[in-house]
């Protein structure tokens, strides 16, 4: 397990460094990428106390991702927007899984959680972004769709893991 986490962390760091080099041509994109990087790492930690009092984690998490996707819309190229949305989902899922590392009852449930929540957060970040490529006001449609998918995912996974 530790070896797997170490390899994934190394790949993650390599991917972030590569992204920083790729988008460092534009100062605005470089600052945006750094902001997204740190925001997505800190976001699940900031959401944890909110989710205690607001019992709808799917809404809180998708709204947080939507705020970050809104910043991505400043990027000039569509390919950059998609790449940054993928990065938002990946970093959000990675940092959330790191938080749940301390609450997982056994290694199996943590590995299972890691394998299924990472794709969920990546997909929901893309779902939030894709309608905005047509028009920025359609971000609300993306938030609603992503929240529904996240809600049903939480129902399914809670009945599966127990």
Per-residue pLDDT of the chain (162 residues; tens, 9 = 90+): 455 555 555 665 566 556 555 554 555 555 556 666 556 666 666 666 676 777 787 888 888 889 888 888 887 788 888 888 888 888 888 877 777 776 666 777 777 777 888 899 999 999 999 999 999 899 999 999 999 999 999 888 777 665
Instruction: Supply the pLDDT for residue 91.
Output: 82
Instruction: Supply the pLDDT for residue 40.
Output: 60
Query: How many other C-beta atoms lie within 10 A of the C-beta of residue 6?
Result: 10
Residue 14 burial (10 A CB sphere; 0-12, 13-18, 19+)? exposed
Q: Torsion-angle region of residue 66: left (phi > 0), alpha (psi -120 to 50) or beta?
A: alpha
Instruction: Supply the pLDDT for residue 44.
Output: 66
Instruction: Supply the pLDDT for residue 150.
Output: 92
DSSP state of 123: H
pTM: 0.73
Instruction: Supply the pLDDT for residue 45.
Output: 65
Instruction: Supply the pLDDT for residue 58.
Output: 82
């Amino acid at each position: 397990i530790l070896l797997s986490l170490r390899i994934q962390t190394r790949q993650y760091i390599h991917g972030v460094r590569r992204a920083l080099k790729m988008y460092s041509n534009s100062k605005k994109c470089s600052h945006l990428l750094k902001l997204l990087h740190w925001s997505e790492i800190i976001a699940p930690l900031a959401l944890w106390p909110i989710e205690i009092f607001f019992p709808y984690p799917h809404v809180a998490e998708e709204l947080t991702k939507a705020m970050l996707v809104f910043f991505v819309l400043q990027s000039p190229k569509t390919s950059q927007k998609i790449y940054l949305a993928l990065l938002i989902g990946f970093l959000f899922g990675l940092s959330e899984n790191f938080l749940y590392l301390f609450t997982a009852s056994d290694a199996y449930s943590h590995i299972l959680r890691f394998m299924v929540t990472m794709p969920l957060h990546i997909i929901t970040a893309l779902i939030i972004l894709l309608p905005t490529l047509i028009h920025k006001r359609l971000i609300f449609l993306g938030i609603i769709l992503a929240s529904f998918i996240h809600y049903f995912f939480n129902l399914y996974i809670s009945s599966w893991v127990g």
